[in-house]
A and B are shown apart, each in its own frame.
Chain A
Amino acid sequence: KAGVTQTPRYLIKTRGQQVTLSCSPISGHRSVSWYQQTPGQGLQFLFEYFSETQRNKGNFPGRFSGRQFSNSRSEMNVSTLELGDSALYLCASSLVQIYNSPLHFGNGTRLTVT
């Protein structure tokens, strides 16, 4: 079974631009969540989607947004990029239909803002 797929793998953007990252969950997984990883803050939860609805949100500014499509694929968008947004962005999916199903992560998109 294919794992969680994130595209692109690497991205370089300039301050003030916006960016869209994509995540395809494991087949059958309906929950998709996003995390930001930086050397200073570690892994931090951004938001989680299930059945196209955002169920949970972390403590990030409104410049960070996301959405989920009917096929469970998800995108996250960051507008008005800042240097501090440089990070590894990780997507995880889980089979919430099964109680206590673990999250499975993709290998992330490494975003560099210059």
Chain B
Amino acid sequence: DAKTTQPPSMDCAEGRAANLPCNHSTISGNEYVYWYRQIHSQGPQYIIHGLKNNETNEMASLIITEDRKSSTLILPHATLRDTAVYYCIVRVVSDFGNEKLTFGTGTRLTIIP
């Protein structure tokens, strides 16, 4: 699986949009970009994933650059409950499935009141 690079920490004011970058310059054509977050003492929570098109769900938006070498997770109106470690993961998905995720060190996002 391709390696990802994320800033170790970021702050964001409550109510503002939080933009979390991820670099995955060695991503292959069959690798998806996944985002998870982990709030202290809980398991990782799935947020969103995408291949090459921008994606949006009730939690966040995912913007993937045209060359797919980087992406940005956007939390549109950050709240204190969004304080967590955010992981960007690239995942090969095949017809046989691939349930092994390789986690990096993630970005510790702190929402400031």
A residues lining the B interface (CB < 8 Å): 4, 31, 33, 35, 42-45, 48, 50, 55-56, 58, 90, 92, 94, 96, 99-100, 102-108
A31 CA to B45 CA, complexed, in Å: 17
Q: Could you tell me if A4 and B99 are in contact, using CB atoms closer than 8 angstroms?
A: no
Q: Could you tell me if B99 and A96 are in contact, using CB atoms closer than 8 angstroms?
A: yes
| B103 in complex: contacting residue of A43, A102, A107, CB < 8 Å | A43
Q: Could you tell me if B44 and A102 are in contact, using CB atoms closer than 8 angstroms?
A: no
CB neighbours (8 Å) of A42 from chain B are 103-105
A-B pairs under 8 A by CB, number:
61
B residues lining the A interface (CB < 8 Å): 32, 34, 36, 41-46, 49, 87, 93, 95-105
Q: Could you tell me if A48 and B100 are in contact, using CB atoms closer than 8 angstroms?
A: yes
CB neighbours (8 Å) of B44 from chain A are 43, 90, 92, 105
Q: Could you tell me if B101 and A31 are in contact, using CB atoms closer than 8 angstroms?
A: no
Min distance, Cβ A65 to any Cβ of chain B, angstroms: 17
Q: Could you tell me if B43 and A100 are in contact, using CB atoms closer than 8 angstroms?
A: no
CB neighbours (8 Å) of A100 from chain B are 32, 49, 93
Q: Could you tell me if B46 and A103 are in contact, using CB atoms closer than 8 angstroms?
A: yes
CB neighbours (8 Å) of A43 from chain B are 44, 87, 101, 103
